[in-house]
């Protein structure tokens, strides 16, 4: 079993899409091993996205991610990292497949409803960022 970090981003939480997104996660066969609602500070968002600090959209992305509450989760499944990214669809919702979470709930390339770790190393860093010392039950 593999674990990945999922975030329901502030745009989707604001629009009350957390429920339908969690429903899709469970219907796809993931186990939610930990979950909490967070309102990141700008500094916490910058720490989470530190690998992107040289990207032109870093300031905008971290302002967005600290703009309101988000829901963070540890998801578990066989091949959870790939499986969750497939369920989300492409970064840009307009390029994501019909029926994917980002196509259905995202607004644009930045406000794209959800986040998912992209590799085992980032999954380990990202789950630790929010759930260090927390029991995964």
Residue tagged active-site, from 115, 123, 126, 130: 115
28-40 as b/e: b if 16+ CB within 10 A = eebeebbbeeeeb
Beta strand pairing call for 114-116 and 2-8? antiparallel
Q: Which is nearer to ligand GDP, 34 or 70 (CB)?
A: 70
CB of 90 to ligand GDP, least distance (A): 7
Q: Which is nearer to ligand GDP, 26 or 86 (CB)?
A: 86
Residues in 23-42 that interact with ligand GDP by CB under 6 A: none
Q: Is 115 a catalytic residue?
A: yes
Q: Are 114 and 9 in contact (CB under 8 A)?
A: yes
Distance from the Cα of residue 135 to its chain's centroid: 20
Spell out, one character per residue from 58 to 97, where the chain touches ligand GDP: x when CB under 6 A holds, - when not: --xx-----------------------------x------
Provide CB contacts within 8 A for 39, sequence distance 6+.
Answer: 66, 68, 69, 70
DSSP-derived 3-state class of residue 20: helix
Q: Which is nearer to ligand GDP, 98 or 137 (CB)?
A: 98
Site residues for ligand GDP per CB under 6 A? 57, 60-61, 91, 109-110, 112, 115, 118
Known catalytic residues are 115
């Amino acid at each position: 079993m593999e674990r990945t970090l999922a975030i329901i981003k502030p745009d989707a939480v604001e629009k009350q899409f957390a429920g339908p997104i969690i429903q899709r996660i469970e219907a796809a066969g993931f186990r939610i091993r930990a979950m909490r609602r967070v309102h990141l500070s700008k500094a916490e968002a910058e720490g989470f996205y530190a690998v992107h600090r040289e990207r032109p959209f870093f300031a905008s992305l971290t302002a967005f991610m600290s703009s309101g509450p988000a829901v963070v989760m540890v998801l578990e499944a066989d091949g959870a990292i790939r499986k969750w990214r497939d369920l989300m669809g492409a970064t840009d919702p307009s390029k994501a497949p019909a029926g994917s979470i980002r196509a259905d709930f995202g607004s644009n390339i930045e406000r794209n409803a959800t986040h998912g770790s992209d590799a085992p190393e980032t999954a380990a860093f990202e789950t630790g960022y929010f759930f260090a010392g927390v029991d995964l039950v």
